[in-house]
Structure 1
């Protein structure tokens, strides 16, 4: 038995009016296949190009190990030169990924390769982050702290994206005081005996190819798997819903700091408590829903 997923709609091109009225206003995901065709990045951005312009940069790498107190908060699991990392990705599958690293700030030539799309969203005009992953590396199921509307562009190869709208949160074993679901859930091949609520969750899926863009509405859960070595870029727009703005402010100014404080105080016991509570809360949600 697999997750209950339907294909995300795809269009080759779309006007900003149609994009806004059909997808942003209704908070529905879509893949736009040819939005980047006119960008220099469409022709230039591949791993060999990144090696040429950024090969000497020392980059932080993360794998898919569960959150642990001994690793520290958002501390890199390894570091290496970008050229060595690209060699590793092209040689064999690897769990190592790059995220939360502002490569564009380090390598200014990359800033000339993309264009801010005129697509009906007020994008935050700050340098976008790039995200890299080796074949079969995974980004755990999560939603973004700021509830942004996200334009997610992929380059070099193929990436699989699974999305769930916020309405499905009761079934996703959300870890309290965090933005993630239980990290030991295999969303490629879920164990429904262990995680029965997942059978109720209704989501969406797509495979992004080179140059394609996925629109992810505010608060959407996303799980991503690099089917081949590759990299992505996200542009963001603040949430339009007042309630989501409030949630974003709470996450940034209250929840995040509370969680850091509790990690320092309780250590691994706090992480273990949250993981147990994720099961308790979800099982309660499932019972309540079944009663109604």
Structure 2
């Protein structure tokens, strides 16, 4: 084992992972032991709150994925090897991310091309109903490619939401992502986490792991609202660097001398909904494919929007905008809001703590850039 591997195993050993370290060292002479080591690390990742998992175990899990995937590749099971490597990228630490990506790249070159895809792979618009009262007020403020100074002075500093136009035409994604066969080709056999159900607040909502090709099929045939699949708030571009090359981080994300927190993908069929909620970060929501309806409420109205009392849901409103119960929540009926239909090539700046509801009006792919200001 190389120095990095020994360093990670030493850290896992200090966390009490004696059996795991012994199994990993046996992998040098018996690669089949990697699966058992993988399963042991997987158990450690799920013993308690995910945020409390020590980074040593996450790195150890990623290392086990590297070894187990190599054994699967040796046996000719490229699909399962790719799945294991993707799990390492999604659940593991950062220490072995370059090796995981290199292994996936090598597998992609050696594997069969994805199966034939449908001939109607263009994302097409499908109308969706909007919440009551939508698009009846004055239009949201719009700026055409504002300078950094103008963005900082007129939007960022005062905390004013606005649509930014003419900012994304140079992105390769603006052409490539309209054709779903591109995703089949680039990532058809990759495993991704997908939300299934009406919204994350709805009964029966769950998360599933599936290949990108299977998920893309669900975009054509989403079923009813309880089985709708949505690749939501996932760091897809960390997992699949080929897609990251199709986008460009906006210069506006440097405002406030802040730090880019995350870049997430939002990809799904028409009708996907993110319920009314707020986030602690500055947010640029970039609409690459399709259209979305977005409604925003000022942070000053938080009490009247009836946040959940559960600490896990305090940033979400009990008010269902698609079926508002104003007898139960009378204060919310007359609240002022701003809204818009966000079209292809437009970005929406959402300041921190602004409540927002989002609904896809067509099959849609959006990218959100979250950053903190210092």
| TM-score normalised by the chain length of structure 1 | 0.71
In 2, the alpha carbon distance for the partners of 1:202 and 1:173 equals: 15
- The equivalent of 2:190 in structure 1 is 57
- The equivalent of 1:167 in structure 2 is 300
In 1, the alpha carbon distance for the partners of 2:250 and 2:163 equals: 14
SS for the counterpart of 2:263 is: coil
TM alignment of 1:83-232, pairs within 5 A? 83-92=213-222, 95-119=228-252, 121=255, 122=257, 124-125=259-260, 128-144=263-279, 147-176=280-309, 177=311, 178-182=314-318, 185-232=319-366
- The equivalent of 2:133 in structure 1 is 2
Higher relative contact order (CA 8 A, sep 6+): 1
- The equivalent of 2:162 in structure 1 is 30
Q: 1:215 Cα shift? A: 0.2
In 2, the alpha carbon distance for the partners of 1:216 and 1:81 equals: 31
Q: 1:38 Cα shift? A: 1.5
Larger Rg: 2
Q: 1:131 Cα shift? A: 1.4
SS for the counterpart of 1:17 is: helix
Q: 1:202 Cα shift? A: 1.4
Q: 1:9 Cα shift? A: 1.1
Which string of whole-angstrom CA distances, capped at 9 and with x for unpartnered residues, describes residues 93-122 of structure 1? Answer: 653212242211221111212222223624
Contact 1:60 1:76 in 2 (8 A): no
Contact 2:199 2:274 in 1 (8 A): no
TM alignment of 1:205-284, pairs within 5 A? 205-239=339-373
SS for the counterpart of 2:151 is: helix
In 1, the alpha carbon distance for the partners of 2:133 and 2:328 equals: 14
Which string of whole-angstrom CA distances, capped at 9 and with x for unpartnered residues, describes residues 166-207 of structure 1? Answer: 00111111112221111xx33135232332111232111111
Q: 1:47 Cα shift? A: 5.3
In 1, the alpha carbon distance for the partners of 2:161 and 2:152 equals: 11
In 1, the alpha carbon distance for the partners of 2:322 and 2:232 equals: 21
In 2, the alpha carbon distance for the partners of 1:78 and 1:128 equals: 21
> Do the aligned partners of residues 51 and 204 (structure 1) sit closer, same or farther apart at CA in structure 2, a change above 3 Å counting?
farther
Corresponding residue pairs, total:
232
Q: 1:158 Cα shift? A: 0.5
> Do the aligned partners of residues 35 and 66 (structure 1) sit closer, same or farther apart at CA in structure 2, a change above 3 Å counting?
closer
Contact 1:105 1:127 in 2 (8 A): no
In 1, the alpha carbon distance for the partners of 2:179 and 2:301 equals: 36
In 2, the alpha carbon distance for the partners of 1:2 and 1:190 equals: 11
> Do the aligned partners of residues 66 and 101 (structure 1) sit closer, same or farther apart at CA in structure 2, a change above 3 Å counting?
closer
| TM-score normalised by the chain length of structure 2 | 0.57
In 2, the alpha carbon distance for the partners of 1:86 and 1:27 equals: 37
> Do the aligned partners of residues 15 and 40 (structure 1) sit closer, same or farther apart at CA in structure 2, a change above 3 Å counting?
same
> Do the aligned partners of residues 189 and 5 (structure 1) sit closer, same or farther apart at CA in structure 2, a change above 3 Å counting?
farther
Gaps of 5+ in 1: 241-292
Q: Are 2:208 and 1:78 aligned?
A: yes
Q: Are 2:172 and 1:40 aligned?
A: yes
In 2, the alpha carbon distance for the partners of 1:11 and 1:66 equals: 32
Gaps of 5+ in 2: 1-131
> Do the aligned partners of residues 65 and 115 (structure 1) sit closer, same or farther apart at CA in structure 2, a change above 3 Å counting?
closer
Contact 2:262 2:370 in 1 (8 A): no
Q: 1:149 Cα shift? A: 0.8
